[in-house]
């Protein structure tokens, strides 16, 4: 019975992901920051989905830039932006859209094993205070 469950899950994943596209290459804009120096390395920027091990989009970005991404999944287009600082750390730009559920960004510095993951928490996981 488990075999059929796995087969059904795989068929569902293929059906959903066949209607998915990630716009590339990454659209870059200069980010105005105090970090105006040249860096001897680049940042690796990858767009991934939790169901897949390989990135949908992989690009190298110079530190101090903004990456603007468009993901089209299930006939729904989503735009968002990430600012990348001089250490290849990313910050999602507020007001520039949401990263779709089950998608995330992986940032790393060229030649380093340190990795940062960026995603948006699903709205239904927010905890509201009250007493």
- Per-residue pLDDT at 121 exceeds 80: no
Provide the residue ranges of all domains of the chain, joining segments of one domain with +. 21-121
pLDDT value at residue 17: 45
Three-state SS at 3: helix
H/E stretch holding 75: none
- Nearest residue to 49 (alpha-carbon basis) of 20, 70, 24: 20
pLDDT averaged over every residue in the chain: 71
pLDDT value at residue 112: 86
pLDDT value at residue 103: 87
pTM greater than the 0.75 cutoff? no
Q: What average pLDDT does this structure show over 26-35?
A: 48
Are the CB atoms for 85 and 64 separated by under 8 Å?
yes
Are the CB atoms for 105 and 119 separated by under 8 Å?
yes
H-type helices in 1-131, by residue range? 2-17
């Amino acid at each position: 019975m488990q075999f059929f469950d796995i087969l059904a899950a795989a068929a569902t994943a293929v059906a959903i992901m066949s209607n998915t596209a990630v716009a590339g290459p990454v659209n870059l804009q200069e980010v105005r920051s105090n970090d105006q120096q040249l860096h001897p390395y680049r940042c690796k920027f990858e767009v991934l989905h939790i169901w897949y091990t390989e990135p949908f989009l992989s690009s190298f970005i110079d530190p101090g830039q903004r990456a603007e991404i468009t993901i089209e999944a299930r006939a729904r287009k989503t735009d968002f932006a990430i600012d990348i600082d001089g250490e290849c750390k990313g910050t999602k730009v507020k007001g520039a859209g949401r990263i779709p559920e089950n998608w995330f960004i992986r940032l790393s510095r060229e030649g380093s094993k340190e990795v940062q993951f960026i995603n948006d928490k699903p709205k239904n996981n927010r905890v509201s205070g009250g007493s």
